[in-house]
Amino acid sequence: MFFTCDNLSVEIVDVLEFYHENTHNVGSRRFNSLSLRLSSDTEIITGGTSRHISENTIGFFPSHRPYKRVSKNEHLISINFILYNQSFDELEFLKPKNAGELSRLFIDILEISRKKSCGYRYEQLKIFYEIMRLLYIEAVSDTINPQDEGMNDIKKYIDSNFCEPSLSVADLARSVYMSEVTFRKKFHAAFGKSPKQYIIDKRIEYAISLLCSQNLKISEIAKLTGFTNEKYFSTLFRRRYSMPPSQYVKN
């Protein structure tokens, strides 16, 4: 993952400021981009996946990965650079808590790049690596306040949507601009279990209520609780209660 890499060798190509109100297909380029959206109501579409990008979001765009950008009210600063010792394939997004400090650094590197004073390339690199240092610290941090608003919002979302078969940890992580690894660690720190286990627990609990209160087939209950596979549902149920769902009803 780009944001959790602590050994980057780069050459900055340029630093640019953009205002977008359009749709644009971005193809393969010779450089990578690290950008900060100072304001944004934008959709980034790649590989059949769409991600909404809002204000204060930082995005990494690898050189060879095409994507479609649908922008409204977008104001961004983009650092374009060449990587010499690493290669990344996926777009990554992070919405940092220290957005004010990072915004200042992006504005500073833009001004230095415009002025091109003596030694400005060293100043560019100094600021770039300070940006990466702050992003790295945030991306790999394992600590979280249990009352963290982002995690609580995710928990509420799961509580309302756990029966949706399409609900995935990957999508939940993207919604809060985290890698799956970081998201799983933070969710576990906040609630004592992995997000996958939390979803399974919610589904099994609901399945119990359906088993006890309604005359439904096991296949119907599996479907109603978000499991696309009846056998998988029965396996998880047996693992928890040491009996299949059909026997639980009889007991």
Per-residue pLDDT 10s for the chain (251 aa) are: 788 888 899 999 999 999 999 999 999 899 999 999 999 999 999 877 788 899 999 999 999 889 999 999 999 999 999 999 888 888 999 888 888 999 999 999 999 999 999 999 999 999 999 999 999 888 876 444 544 667 888 988 999 999 999 999 999 988 887 888 888 888 888 887 889 999 998 898 888 888 877 678 888 899 999 998 888 988 888 888 788 887 776 66
**The tokens of 127 are what?**
């600021």
The pLDDT, as a whole number, for residue 144 is 45
**The tokens of 186 are what?**
């933070």
Q: List, as one string, the DSSP characters of 41-73.
A: EEEEEETTEEEEEETT-EEEE-TT--EEEEEEE
Q: How far apart are CA 143 and CA 197, in angstroms?
A: 20
Cβ atoms of 105 and 58 within 8 Å: the answer is no
Domains defined for the chain, CATH in brackets: 10-140 (2.60.120.280), 149-250 (1.10.10.60)
Buried b / exposed e across 207-222, counting CB within 10 Å, b at 16+? bbebbeeeeeebeebb
The pLDDT, as a whole number, for residue 134 is 93
Buried b / exposed e across 61-73, counting CB within 10 Å, b at 16+? bbbebebebbbee
The pLDDT, as a whole number, for residue 115 is 95
Cβ atoms of 91 and 65 within 8 Å: the answer is yes
In angstroms, how far is the first alpha carbon of the chain from the final one?
49
Predicted TM-score of the model (pTM): 0.61
